[in-house]
Structure 1
Amino acid sequence: MARTRTGASTETGTETGTETGTEASTEANTATGPGLVSVAWRPVAAVGGSLTALLLALSGRYGYDADELYFRVAGQHLDWGYVDQPPLVPLLARLQIALFGDTVIAIRVIPALLAGLTVLLAALVARELGGARRAQVLAAVATAVSMFPTAVGHMLHTATVDIPVWVAMSWLVIRILRTGEPRLWLVAGLVGGVGLLAKNLVVLLAIGLVGGILLAGPRRVLRGPHLWAGIGCAALVASPALVWQAAHGWPQLEMAQQIGAIGSTATRVMFLPFQVILIGPLVTPLWVAGLLALFRWPRWRRYRALGVGFLIVAALVVLSAGKVHYAMGCLVTLVAAGCVPAARWTSGVLRRVALVAALAGNGVYTAVAGLPIIPESWLARYPVLGIAQITTKQIGWPELAGQVGAVYRSLPPGERERAVLFGGTYAEAGALARYGPENALPPVYSGHNSLHAFARPADDKTVVIAVNVQPGFTELFDRCEERGRFGLQNEPVLVCHDPKERWSRLWPQLRHISA
Structure 2
Amino acid sequence: MIEKHKLFLLILIATLVRGIIAITTGLGNDEVYYVTYAQHLQWNYFDHPPMVALLIRLTTLNLFFTNDLFIRLGPIILAGVNTYLIYTICKNIKNEKAGFIAALLFSGSFYSSIIAGVFIMPDSPQLFFWIICVSLLIKIVSTTKTDTHLKYNLLLFGLVAGLCIMSKIHGIFLWFGFGLYILCYKRVLLANKYLYLAVLITILIISPVLIWNINNHFITYTFHSNRVSINNGINPSSFFREFFGGIFYNNPINYFLIFTSIIAL
Work out whether the TM-score is over 0.5: yes
Of the three residues 58, 66, 86, the one matched with 2:29 is 66
Q: Which of 245, 248, 251 is residue 277 of structure 1 equivalent to?
A: 248
Specify the SS of the correspondent of 2:24: coil
CA contact (8 A) 2:56 2:74 kept: no
Matched-pair contact (CA < 8 Å) for 2:35–2:53: yes
Please give the root-mean-square deviation of Cα atoms over the aligned residues, in Å.
2.6
More helix by share: 2
Question: Against the structure 1 CA distance between its residues 203 and 190, is the aligned structure 2 distance closer, same or farther, given a 3 Å change threshold?
Answer: same
Tell me the amino acid that sits aligned with residue 91 of structure 2.
Answer: R
CA distance in 2, matches of 1:272, 1:207: 23
- 1:158 maps to what in 2? 122
Determine helix, strand or coil for the equivalent of 2:40. coil
After TM superposition, list the pairs within 5 Å mapping 1:27-106 onto structure 2: 41-97=4-60, 98=62, 101-106=65-70
CA distance in 2, matches of 1:289, 1:197: 34
Contact 2:158-2:198 at 8 Å conserved across structures = yes
Change in 2 beyond 3 A, CA 1:81/1:104? same
Find the partner of 1:204 among 173, 177, 183: 173
Q: 2:186 aligns with which of 207, 215, 218?
A: 218
Tell me how far 1:100 sits from its aligned partner. Answer: 5.7
User: How much has 1:254 moved relative to structure 2?
Assistant: 2.0
Q: Give the Cα–Cα distance (whole angstroms) in 1 for the partners of residues 175 and 244 of structure 2.
A: 24
Q: Structure 1 residues 176, 267: CA separation in 2 closer, same or farther (over 3 Å shift)?
A: farther
Contact persistence 1:72–1:94 (CA under 8 A):
no
Aligned identity (percent) is: 23
The CA distance in 2 between the partners of 1:108 and 1:268, in whole Å, is 31
Residue 121 of structure 1 aligns with an amino acid whose one-letter code is: L
Which one-letter code corresponds to 1:63 in the other structure? G
Indicate which of 72, 80, 94 corresponds to 1:108: 72
CA contact (8 A) 1:190 1:237 kept: yes
Match of 2:133 among 161, 169, 178: 169
Contact 1:196 1:202 in 2 (8 A): yes
How far residue 48 of structure 1 moved from its aligned partner, in angstroms, is 2.6
Shift of 1:178: 1.6
User: Once structures 1 and 2 are overlaid, which stretch shifts more, 81-90 or 44-53?
Assistant: 44-53
Matched residue, 1:439: none
Q: Larger relative contact order (C-alpha < 8 A, sep ≥ 6)?
A: 2
Are 2:164 and 1:195 aligned?
yes
CA contact (8 A) 2:88 2:99 kept: yes
Pick the structure with more strand per residue. Answer: 1
Code of the residue aligned with 1:229 in structure 2: it is L
Deviation at 1:194, TM superposition (A): 0.7
Cα displacement (A) at 1:126? 0.7
- 1:269 shift after superposition: 5.2
Task: Judge which range, 261-270 or 185-194, deviates more.
Answer: 261-270
| Letter matched to residue 126 of structure 1 | C
Query: One-letter code of the match for 1:174?
Result: I
Corresponding pairs, count: 255
Query: 1:137 Cα deviation (Å)?
Result: 1.0
Given residue 159 of structure 1, which amino acid in structure 2 is its aligned partner?
D
Structure 2 CA distance, aligned partners of 1:203 and 1:251? Answer: 17
TM-aligned CA distance change 1:71 to 1:252, over 3 Å: same
Which residue identity is paired with 1:189? Answer: G
Question: Partner letter of residue 252 of structure 1?
Answer: T
2: distance between equivalents of 1:286 and 1:213? 29
Normalising to structure 1: TM-score of the pair?
0.46
Tell me if the contact between 2:18 and 2:114 (Cα under 8 Å) persists in the aligned partners: no
Alignment check: 8 A CA contact 1:87 1:198 kept: yes
TM-score by length of 2: 0.85
Structure 1 pair 221/124, CA: closer, same or farther in 2 (3 Å)?
farther
Shift of 1:243: 1.6
